[in-house]
Amino acid sequence: MVNESQAHIAIIGTGQLGSRHLQGLSMIGRAIKITVIDPNPASLEIAQKRYEEMPANKFVQSVIYAKTMHVLDKDVDVAVISTNADVRRNAVEELLKHVSVQFMILEKVAFQSVEDFQTVIELLDKNKIKAWINCTRRMCPAFRKMRGELTKHEYIDFRLEGDNWGMASNTIHMLDLFAFLTDETQFSIDTSGIDNKVYQSNKNGFIELGGVLSATTSRGDRLTLIDDKGSSRRALFEISSENHCYTIFQSKGKIVSKHKESEWAALEQRYVILNQSELTHLVVQMILDSGECDLTPINESFALHKPLLEAFASHLEMVTGKKYIKCPIT
């Protein structure tokens, strides 16, 4: 918990997500000052432009844009690390050379290797920093309601089908949601259905994957993710158990739920996923007010990242014949 005086928020990395975090902070309801760091002047310019599109807020008392971390105050209350995954460890290490940080939010995919992830966890523990990974679907009211309806003794079957939804970069979101709904963090991951082809990401220097990835828990819950490249299929979620079935039509913004107790009658409701620019102020204010938030604690997320990074690296080695110390995803 941070006292009611002006809190210092630092955003490290102002690419697509970093600038949206900044927009989100423009809606906060308590006094803050913001420092935005990115070595790329063009990225800082875009971030500033996007921030200035938002309505003025008296609680945001200053916003400073800079290319280096030397401008940061000695104490940072909340640091948002929104760099690409390949430089995130370096960004955290460099930040902690300059300042003391109380809380930290890291973007996902958090790191490209298990070693980097472990090193950062040790560094955060050493500096007594509480941290979370920015997997936001567990904040969605629809999924929180679903979790309450699914009883712990029910096996869950979670299925996502679609085209070009970003298997390499976004599977961690699905795995995190699967963990949230099942209350399980130990998985066996099967990559045998992933395409024997490496696709170029729309982010330069990174890769994407397609095909079928599946995961199972020790109690029998099953996750199936299908990225059918070139099919033009819109993303469709289905989450089912013995007593409940939920079908989510993401592009249509609706969810159809059926329950055994109501004889499987279909109930249609709105399905809303908030953008990052609509979430960051909620998360940061929760952290400042209580020292907690609804994102995934870093140690829990490590348990999800580890088997996924290892599975992806193993698949890439099989397809390319090269050794992958780091998995080139972000």
Domains present along the chain, CATH in parentheses: 7-135+277-294 (3.40.50.720), 137-273+310-314 (3.30.360.10)
| pLDDT tens by residue, 278-327 | 999 999 999 999 999 999 999 999 999 999 999 999 999 999 999 999 99
> pTM above 0.85?
yes
Q: What is the 3-state secondary structure (H, E, C) of 248-277?
A: EEHHHCEEEEEEHHHCCCCEEEECCCCCHH
Tens-place pLDDT, residues 33-67: 999 999 999 999 999 999 999 999 999 999 999 99
Alpha carbon 327 to chain centroid, angstroms: 17
The Cβ-side half-sphere exposure at 103, using a 13 Å CA radius, reads: 24
